[in-house]
Homo-oligomer: A and B are copies of this chain.
Amino acid sequence: MYRNYTCGELRLEHAGQEPVLAGWVQTVRNLGAMTFIDIRDRYGITQLVADENTPAQLKEMFDKLGREFVIQVKGIVRERSSKNAKMATGEIELDIKELTVLNKAAVPPFTIQDDTDGGDELRMKFRYLDLRRETVRKNLELRAKMAHVVRNYLDDLKFIETETPVLMKSTPEGARDFVVPSRMNPNQFYALPQSPQIFKQLLMVAGFDRYYQIVKCFRDEDLRADRQPEFTQIDCEMSFVELEDVLNMFEGLARHMFKEIKEIDPGAFPRITWADAMENYGCDKPDIRFGMKFKNLTGVAKGKEFKVFDEAEYIVGICAPGCGEYTRKQMDALTEFVKRSQVGAKGLVYAKVNDDGTVKSSVDKFYTQEDLAKWCDILEAKPGDLILILSGERIRALSALSVLRLEMGRRCGLMNKENFKPLWVIDFPLLEWDEDSARFYAMHHPFTSPIPVDIPLLDTDPGKVRANAYDLVINGVEIGGGSVRIHDSELQAKMFKTLGFSKQEAENQFGFLMEAFKYGAPPHAGIAFGFDRLVSMFAGLDSIRDVIAFPKNNSGRDVMNDAPSEIAQVQLDELFLSLVAPKSKTL
């Protein structure tokens, strides 16, 4: 062992002892007669000192150390004259007696400090140096701890952690697969799993009863800031359960994580139907850290000669408390905000409630104070509040207001990252109508079961059928989702029929799982959590990239080791593949 203490371990009680430390040079302060060096390892930082009593040769070596040199040092622990209360080891320093340079270091391309001078790209290229920064390493340590907490919780509840194949069968439905050419089976390909969905359902057929896995999944999609080609799920499935059992089980898991990791109890998770979520928040993953619930003003705002509203299918507003003082400039900015193509509103109507209770609106010429008072009444607006109203086609208006609501939440400082407000969204529509192909699609996947009372609607009004599906949403982010699966083959057949599959098509695409179900499938249900997102949320970060040790950029590249890369012709030959020049495709 190159050390007998870590750099985070020494305290005043060790004074007089002569430990050996090893680590990286964090800083060098050469004050002439005295030199101070901070030595760093994963566990902390310890101050080393060489002074007039240090042998000249040793002092000289010490003075020559550069940042990030790897050193081993022996010294005597002594009390500091000026203590640093911010450091765990701040009461002591090490009077060095022996020094070995274990490795030199070139000057790093950015400073290894929490507030580094390195830009995003540079830090990704030298990720192994970026990971030296405490703030980055802490994220990865948190990730490891969360995995540990999840596993122990599920292990205790008799879930069997089971590894499912990474080299699996390519499926036509869903997102795009990454494929892996098979050398031993020429011209055939494996696919990397988008999720272990089929395998976990098979494990239920196999009687495993409770399964989980923290598992890498893959999707070949164009990337956004919070997407990675490979990502990690906490994947779970249970047998002989109903909706209530699954929600309770995994609410238990989530609360356990909050307790163990954040030391908070968010209380019982509210449940909200998809329809209510849309009505009240305009989206299926509402951020309920703050109110500003939507109110339908269609009834009271129409018929006053204001053409925009009169022609609108739906008029919907929110009340932003205390924003009545917004200036003209601020209001213009909000109007610009909603008109951006990402939000898509045509304009913004607002009304400010004055201190005397009167209302000043952007549509004063159409509405009397009495009319406006009705708006205030519905929106529970008080003096000093700001009413914001959008209108148009219902779904578009809801969706645009949902974005505006979040913007107002941000502006009002209501989105504290340490305030966690989880909820379940339930009763999703089972099916989505697609105009282009004039058919229904499964919103979740074709094995999601309908809510039992809605089953008759499959014949009469499929669009109204609600799914036995659920999402766990925390602070506006979908953290997990799942469903009770169909285990009854007659219901499954009806489902396929509703989706417009012929028997043959259903057989071709899902025959394998249907075959398995013939041999006695238990009722089962499951869920998958986005582990990267969950960690990122617990770490108070916006991007999942920061909780992944070696992430890829938006082009799916690892800029650190320059992957993907070309491969040798002999490899292509062995795989019976030839390359097509990208240009030839666009010609």
Contacts and interface: CB of A to CB of B under 8 A. Distances in A.
Interface of A: 1-3, 22-24, 40-43, 68-70, 72, 102-106, 108, 126-132, 137, 140-141, 143-144, 147-148, 151-152, 155, 160-170, 172, 176-192, 198-199, 202-203, 205-209, 216, 218, 220, 222, 229-230, 232, 240-242, 245, 487-489, 512, 516-523, 548-550, 552, 555-558, 560-568, 571, 573-582, 585
Contacts of A42: 207-209
A103 B520 contact: yes
A103 to B, nearest CB: 5
Contacts of A190: 563-564
A538 to B, nearest CB: 16
A192 B180 contact: yes
Nearest to A134: B207
B187 A566 contact: yes
A166 B193 CA distance: 12
Given A102-B523, A164-B549, 16 more contacts: A22-B240, A41-B207, A70-B521, A103-B517, A103-B521, A128-B206, A129-B205, A130-B206, A143-B163, A162-B549, A167-B558, A170-B565, A188-B564, A189-B567, A199-B550, A576-B579
Given A199-B550, A550-B199, A579-B187, A522 B102 contact: yes
A45 to B, nearest CB: 12
B576 A582 contact: yes
Contacts of A104: 520
Contact of A3 (B131, B220, B240, B557): B240
A68 B519 contact: yes
Nearest to A576: B580
Given A24-B207, A180-B178, A556-B185, A167 B230 contact: yes
A501 to B, nearest CB: 18
A2 B524 CA distance: 10
B2 A241 contact: yes
A132 to B, nearest CB: 5
A164 B70 contact: no
13 contacts: A41-B209, A103-B520, A128-B202, A129-B206, A140-B160, A167-B558, A179-B181, A186-B582, A187-B579, A189-B565, A190-B564, A203-B549, A576-B581
Contacts of A41: 207, 209, 240
Top 7 nearest A-B pairs (CB, nearest first) are A105-B520, A131-B206, A169-B563, A188-B564, A2-B240, A186-B582, A182-B564
Nearest to A105: B520
A66 to B, nearest CB: 9
Nearest to A531: B163
A513 B152 CA distance: 35
A103 B207 CA distance: 13
Nearest to A187: B579
Contacts of A182: 556, 564
B549 A189 contact: no
Contact of A522 (B22, B152, B242): B22
Contacts of A183: 176, 220
Given A178-B167, A190-B564, A548-B163, A240 B24 contact: no
A106 B518 contact: yes
A106 B521 CA distance: 11
A185 B564 contact: yes
